[in-house]
Amino acid sequence: MRLKKNEMNIWKNVVARPMVWIACGVVIGGVAMAGILNLKVGIPSAFAGQDVKTSPIANIKTESMAALRDLNDSFANLTEFVSPSIVSIRGERSASNAGGRFMPQAMGEGSGVIYSADGWILTNDHVVADFDKVTVVLNDGREFPGKVTRANDPQNDIALVKIEAKDLPIARLGDSDRVRPGEYAIAVGAPFGLENTVTVGHISALGRASAVQDRGYSNMIQTDAPINPGNSGGPLMNIEGEVIGINTSILNGGASPFGGSAGNVGIGFAIPSNQAKLIADMLRSKGKIVRGYMGLVPENLKKFEKADKKIDSGAIVRSVEANGPAASAGLQAGDIITEVGTWPIRNEQDVRNSMLRIAPGTPAKVKYVRSGQTREATVKVAEFPRALASMRPTPPNDSLKDFDPNDLDLDKLREQFEKQKEDGDVPPVRQGAARLGVSVATPNADSRKTYNLPESAKGAVITAVEPDSVADRLGLKVGDLIQRLGNKEINTPEDLVAAMGSIKWGDTVNLKFTRFTSGGQSTIDRPVNFR
């Protein structure tokens, strides 16, 4: 068949010439590859099919490749070692209407660790709460019905599940007090029902408070090891294969464009293993925990507070319940608790845990520091209020049974933060003399009657609060009585003016004030950022 002239031009331009170039490319590529393989130029010998230990490597050192292989093997071997001690937990509930409370049918999935060889499983309370039937699935595929022992404690999301089994491989609990940010962290569990899933990351931070304030979600370990709904109750481990935390909650990225949750965004939280062990031991030995009550809110000391007060450890009292056990014993907001009973206090969690060890109705000696002096008080520990005890831990965005991907929208939070910046809620450091943004006066007969100020109360009473000021953002109100700023006691308005004279924009100092109402009083001692 003969080609016409125009067809011949098309053949040359579209077919023949490109084929020639392709053929040339193949030849050149073949020659180059042969040279590379024969001369070992620029490509690590590991990829050329040669022994990495006997060949020089241009871009990756032999020692580096060996270290990477060792690390790779370590993670794989570690997973094989710990996986048998990790379980999946399924919960089922039939629809019911008990006591006027309708409970719809529900199913959930979580994880757990084998706590003892005779069948005790450690997990989160919210993984097993409110289910009629709980099933534990071992790593080898065996399934057992489980009997749940709950803490029913608003400050601890821990529960135990007992199965009838023997000689189980137990998880080894590590010392969470020795954990440091930056260390490797390994999570194993059943995210979205995918059992025996392993993820690796790092310890991001320590001492985090979760979204549920004043309900025990303090002193949490933060990690970027990916954990998702279904990981709850499973272990967070170190490279020694020790459980250093029990995964309990995450922050998620909102809804996925493909439907459902966008899942993990690198911010997850775990209950420290020492805290989990304390609760688990009590549940196993007593079948329950009983919490005492002092009527105060402790918090960890911030670095600047430790420096200002020249103290290394302890928990600062942020507020005291009026007429509560602590207030009756003379404790005040701003006091630093260093010992309760015979237990030293390093942080706020130690204060909370002391109420697990001291039975209600028992007097407890409390050592504390006030104005640099160590003092002692005897607090009669009360029964934990029923209203607080009935609150069940419900960490957000965490288990399949109640997982709501719209609970937290990070994009929305960013927009809100940007708006706050524009509105002045997060202003830059200002210039000139720092201002609190209040007008104050000496309490008189009229103000004492108007604001319920007792005759014995001393300080500077707030008569006006400037909008968008430091005081406004702190939540100060007209009628509040300012009693201390930094280390200076405030008995008169002049005292407050003098104390402000040493403060500059950008400083952070503590402010103590009391708010009186017809029903009592609340004293608060909090850090103030002058921005």
Q: Which CATH number is 452's domain given?
A: 2.30.42.10
Q: Tell whether 110 and 236 lie within a shared domain.
A: yes
Q: Tell whether 454 and 336 lie within a shared domain.
A: no
Q: Tell whether 339 and 255 lie within a shared domain.
A: no
Question: Domain end: 250, 266, 290, which one?
Answer: 290
Q: Note the pLDDT tens digit of each residue in 469-517.
A: 888 888 888 889 999 998 889 999 999 998 998 888 888 888 888 888 7
Active-site choice (176, 232, 319, 399) = 232
Q: Tell whether 151 and 195 lie within a shared domain.
A: yes
Q: Note the pLDDT tens digit of each residue in 437-468.
A: 888 889 888 888 888 888 878 899 998 888 77
Active-site choice (45, 126, 218, 261) = 126
Q: Which CATH number is 167's domain given?
A: 2.40.10.120
Domain membership flag for residue 440:
yes
The band of 32, judged by pLDDT with boundaries at 50, 70 and 90, is very low
Q: Tell whether 147 and 282 lie within a shared domain.
A: yes
Q: Tell whether 303 and 285 lie within a shared domain.
A: no
Q: What is the 3-state secondary structure (H, E, C) of 201-265?
A: EEEEEEEECCCCCCCCCCCEEEECCCCCCCCCCCEEECCCCCEEEEEEEEEECCECCCCCECCEE
Active-site choice (125, 157, 224, 480) = 157
Question: Domain end: 383, 414, 438, which one?
Answer: 383
Domain membership flag for residue 116:
yes
> Would residue 218 show up in a list of annotated catalytic residues for this protein?
no
Q: Tell whether 240 and 149 lie within a shared domain.
A: yes
Domain membership flag for residue 64:
no
Domain membership flag for residue 364:
yes
pLDDT at site 244: 92
H/E run at residue 267: strand 264-272
Q: Across the chain, what does the average pLDDT equal?
A: 77
On the question of pLDDT at 106 being above 50, the answer is yes
Q: In total, how many domains does the chain have? A: 3
3-state secondary structure of 252: strand
Provide mean pLDDT across the span 200-228. Answer: 73
CA angle at 177 for the pair 227 and 300, rounded to the nearest 5°: 90
On the question of pLDDT at 303 being above 60, the answer is yes
Q: Domain span at residue 437?
A: 427-529
Q: Tell whether 171 and 224 lie within a shared domain.
A: yes
> Would residue 157 show up in a list of annotated catalytic residues for this protein?
yes
Per the CB < 8 A criterion, the answer to whether 511 and 528 are in contact is yes
> Would residue 130 show up in a list of annotated catalytic residues for this protein?
no
Domain membership flag for residue 180:
yes
On the question of pLDDT at 44 being above 50, the answer is no
Q: Tell whether 316 and 283 lie within a shared domain.
A: no
Question: Domain end: 268, 290, 312, which one?
Answer: 290
